[in-house]
Every structure is written in C-alpha cells, then in structure tokens.
Structure 1
Amino acid sequence: MDIIQIVGIGIVSTVLILILKEQKPVFAFLLSVFVGIGIFLFLIGKISSIIHVLENLALKTEINMIFLKTILKIIGIAYIAEFGAQIVRDAGQEAIASKIELAGKILIMVMAIPIITVIVETVLKLLPA
C-alpha cells in the first residue's frame, strides 16, 4: 500500500520538521521541500501509467491527441502551481503563494482557449440558423 508509505514518510518528516524548526528553521524548511519533492517523485510512475491509459483511451475513441495533451498540460499546471504555492506558504510567504496560484489560473485559461473555441464552434453548428 503506497499510501501507507507516503503517510508514514509524511508523519516522520513532520515530527522531524517540528523538532528542527526550533533550532534550525532553514533546515526544517529544506526538509519540507525535499520530502514534498520525494513524494512527488515517488508518484511519477503512477502518473505515467495514468497518462498511458488516457492516451490509449483517446486513440480508441479517435479523440484528437492535441486535446488530450492540452488537458494533461492543464492538469500539470494546476498541480505544479498548487505544489509551489504550498511550499511558499510553508515558508510564510502568503502573498507570493497567492501570486503563484494566480499565475497558474491564468496559464490554465490560456491553455484552455483552443478547447473552449472548439466547443463554442461545435455548439454554434448545432444551433438552427
């Protein structure tokens, strides 16, 4: 069970961070960042298998791969922005964390424009003239 390992690592690192925070706050922050990156790297294989399944589904249903890749990029932007904002928030920089989240939202909108355009064009074609 991967989740048990992840939770175990999280709990142990949290205790270590709480102990380090008293003596060396910089090391506590670095440990927090490294544990977060470590958990992410641990999940890379799972993410890869999800992407592979979605690609196979898109091929079977003959969905344009550009749309799938765009959606996967949007999901990636959302996760990376959230991860970055949480790390910055852990360092006590709420204002910068908010800006990271804002940037993520704007980049998602930029990436979504082609998909939104196709949806609107499809709906307009379906409406009676």
Structure 2
Amino acid sequence: MNIVAVAGISIIAAILSVMMKRYHHEYSVIISICAGLIILFEIMANVSPAVQQIHTLLDSAGISSEYAAILLKSLGICFLAQFAADSCRDAGESALASKVELAGKVAIVVLSLPLFEKIASTAVDLIGGGR
C-alpha cells in the first residue's frame, strides 16, 4: 500500500472539505465521502496478499475454511460499518451513525451464530450432556 498516496489524498480532501464547508456544506460531505472511498479502494487492492496469507496459515493449522470465512466477513462488516458511520458523522448525522454501528454489530452476531452453535455443541459433548 502506498501510504504516501493515502496521506496525500486525505490531506488534500481535508483542505478542500474545510474550504467548501464555508460555502456549500453538502459539497464538503461529498468530498469527504469520495476521498474515503478512494482510500478504501486503495486499501482493498492491497489486502489480497494478506487474505491469502491468512488462508494459508489457517489451512496449515488445520482450521476449517468456514471459520476463516466468518473471520474475514466479520472484518469486512466492521470496516464497512465504521466507514459508513464516520461518513454520517461528517455529515452531522450522529444518530444515523449510531444506527449504522448497531446494524454492523447485529450483522456480526448473526454471521457468527453458526460458530457459537459449534462451540456450544462442543462444550456439551465435553461435559457429557450429549449422551
């Protein structure tokens, strides 16, 4: 990842956003969201090797790919919800940002239910309740 490009984009967007906020607040928000999306795409383009390395580590450890999928999907939900909530806060919509964060948390819980079920089943088997 080219951190210099990310830093440059964020500084330029911040300056433009502050300048535009005086005259057209709505354009300021659009500039911030567009810069955030550009940075997000830059990050996502460079995340692929890390995801591949995680899959390799989990495979070598003998951990099911189902768990890796849950981990990566949860991570994606976290990043997306945080980006959306921060964008809402930049637009002055704190209540909406809180709702986005809550939706992200609920989505992670729903996504993790099969994992919780497997853990509970294993615990019951270890205790001897599955006779």
2:97 counterpart letter in structure 1: A
Q: Where do 1:1-129 residues align within 5 Å?
A: 2-127=2-127
Q: Displacement of 1:114 after TM fit?
A: 0.9
Tell me the percent identity: 30
Deviations 1:54-94 (A, max 9, x none): 11122222211111111111111111111101101111111
Match for 1:106: what amino acid?
Answer: V
Provide the C-alpha distance between the structure 1 equivalents of 2:7 and 2:125, rounded to a whole number of angstroms: 50
SS in 1 for 2:22: helix
Judge which range, 107-116 or 50-59, deviates more. Answer: 50-59
Deviations 1:13-46 (A, max 9, x none): 1111111111222211111010000000111122
Most deviating of 15-24 and 54-63: 54-63
Question: TM-score by structure 1 length?
Answer: 0.91
Alpha-carbon offset, residue 123 of structure 1: 2.6
Deviates further, 30-39 or 3-12: 3-12
- Residue-pair matches, total: 129
Structure 2: segments with no counterpart, 5+ residues:
none
Q: Which runs of 5+ in 1 are unaligned?
A: none
3-state SS of paired residue (1:9): helix
Code of the residue aligned with 2:126 in structure 1: it is L
Normalised TM-score (structure 2): 0.89
